[in-house]
Structure 1
């Protein structure tokens, strides 16, 4: 099987429509195969925005990778960043990363942030929570403090997406930090936190049913391993499925369903190759390692992932939306259960897409790393 071919059991029907090209302007009607929409700007003029969250009062929180948390209020980006954001290691791909609200935010006010934490040997992904009061983060608590001895000065593969399941567990992703050589093959080893999806309680404590909670020498937060650099992670409440996208090397970006204790193969198996064109491995499958639901070659630069549920686009109900940094587009994936049966490119060529979210208003929000802006898709009518 060639790297660009899909396994037969994961076959997909591709719709190469490429709708919504770079010429689409604010307010233009864009026609996809399932819906017509317009693009509205929510905020612009930002530097490397990474993620967005919506507060119950209608304001938006937006992270900027250099280390700023911004607020959009009444359609305007407030000039002063939120105070009290922890120091970040803003080098390479590092910096201030994801932001999500606690599922019971209306009662407890907790905001969760992931970031690359400066450490003596470099940096590693960390997670904190805090409350917002008068444009300042207060009551800050550490949810995941990375092991200092695992830090590295490499500027790549931090992850880190955050998502809650229906029981209130927090899942977060950490990339392999670019280390794939034996014997320091991070993603395949459970004695380190890198190249994994992790699961904790909302206060950072370890759930007793985590697969390595009681394994000597293993990191107890680990939920699964063998992940290269997961930058799409969403728990779909209606289906109970934890979906993930991760960057492959040159080719082999993956869409996975994440399950407890499984091994997703990197770098022992992959559909990608080294950036130099040389093989990483001769294997695309191996016993005891999971196959992706689908994969993309050439690489999307898969970043940002959501499942559409809302009243604005009933035609998109239950569809997956995956962002693409490198290929500058959104991939809409129609599902039949746990299989992708149709794909369509939308907003192709409009910029590097970092994050995708659907909030209670039913619009699809799109965060562009470059140009630094946030837009939303609204029905054409």
Structure 2
């Protein structure tokens, strides 16, 4: 693929789900009443404010990279007081599209490489719609004598196929295997349903790739005629993926009208969408619920009403020792921070705290603090907030 063109496109705010934006907002606003804790056990400190931020990641020196939906990648100091635009990526920001996830390479300390995802309608040699793209660049000195850093050598590595029209369910989350050899990438089914079950498509799938964006050798379904990048399939809109300390791969995804899920991702398994879901279609049509005999891998946890899950993080720090090993999820329509108890390969609902804003991303800081990234505009719930134990 050709190198990515850099520019600054127009901003549009994302919504979630497979209904039109207004319908989704109307049908997904009910917060899950179970396990809600009103008295938050953490203090909140606002670190910075952004314009429709989507994802963030920490670098070894404690600074942060933050993506904004319209295409900006910012390098932000640990205290949030200094920021610099290190790249403007050309994205298709209509609907749920835009600049998405960002994660440093496993060997970032030496390679300075950063991986990120975005949506685009400009894909070399392909036409007929839009796709989620996996890309990487190298964070390097400016070279112009002004100091600072720049994200250069940007190249597109992989895109979801087939290209389809529409502006939803791109997904685009990134996680590296614990050994640092492989990259796991989520490609949503683009609100088209059946691609999640199509063996030739990469839509509605968890993909396992090499660090150069090629299908990883030994993927479990290649010999059965699937696209060689597919690791698991039957997914909807996969907006979080992370490994725990034992090497288990966890994923969360948005269901339709109900049926948001946390899944333990196992190689070669079919997770059922759109043939099975604990939710229903937005027009009221039923979808068969997951059952032990349906042949599909059932979620470990599901929500109905929805929480509209955003980012996923598995906590490994020491500031909150009681939560070590648990999963944390940002809630969009639920405007919440959600904790899920992980116990080996099992999971159960934990706490749900009302945050008063749509939470797009959850990350762990170098000191074990929890950081949440709101989903709104600069000056209106687009803040990065640091959570520390209440004293």
Is residue 162 from structure 1 mapped to residue 174 from structure 2 by the alignment?
A: yes
Partner of 1:4: none
Q: Summarize the alignment of residues 70-109 of structure 1 with structure 2, pairs less than 5 Å apart.
A: 70-73=74-77, 75-76=79-80, 78=82, 80-83=84-87, 85-109=88-112
Matches of 1:187 and 1:355, distance apart in 2: 25
Q: After TM superposition, which residue ranges in structure 1, 4 or more long, deviate above 3 angstroms?
A: 76-80, 212-216
The partner residue of 1:123 within 118, 122, 130 is 130
Q: Deviations over 1:29-67 (max 9, x none)?
A: x33xxxxx21111211x2211111111222111001111
Matches of 2:43 and 2:326, distance apart in 1: 19
1:71 Cα offset (Å): 1.9
Matches of 1:42 and 1:77, distance apart in 2: 8
Q: Are the counterparts in 2 of residues 187 and 266 from structure 1 also a CA contact under 8 Å? A: yes
1:255 Cα offset (Å): 0.7
1:108 Cα offset (Å): 1.2
Matches of 2:349 and 2:374, distance apart in 1: 24
Matches of 1:252 and 1:100, distance apart in 2: 28
The partner residue of 2:366 within 355, 360, 370 is 360
How many matched pairs?
342
The partner residue of 1:178 within 191, 194, 197 is 191
Q: Summarize the alignment of residues 1-381 of structure 1 with structure 2, pairs less than 5 Å apart.
A: 16-20=35-39, 30-31=40-41, 37-44=42-49, 46-73=50-77, 75-76=79-80, 78=82, 80-83=84-87, 85-119=88-122, 120-133=127-140, 134=142, 135-147=149-161, 150-168=162-180, 169-180=182-193, 185-216=194-225, 218-236=226-244, 238-279=245-286, 281-285=287-291, 286-346=293-353, 348-370=354-376, 371-381=381-391
Q: Are the counterparts in 1 of residues 54 and 375 from structure 2 also a CA contact under 8 Å? A: yes
Q: Deviations over 1:253-283 (max 9, x none)?
A: 011000111000001011111122222x234
TM-score, L = length of structure 1: 0.85
TM-score, L = length of structure 2: 0.83
**Unmatched 5+ stretches in structure 1:** 1-13, 21-29, 32-36
Q: Are the counterparts in 2 of residues 70 and 78 from structure 1 also a CA contact under 8 Å? A: no
**Unmatched 5+ stretches in structure 2:** 1-32, 143-148
Partner of 1:34: none
Matches of 2:219 and 2:358, distance apart in 1: 35
1:153 Cα offset (Å): 2.3
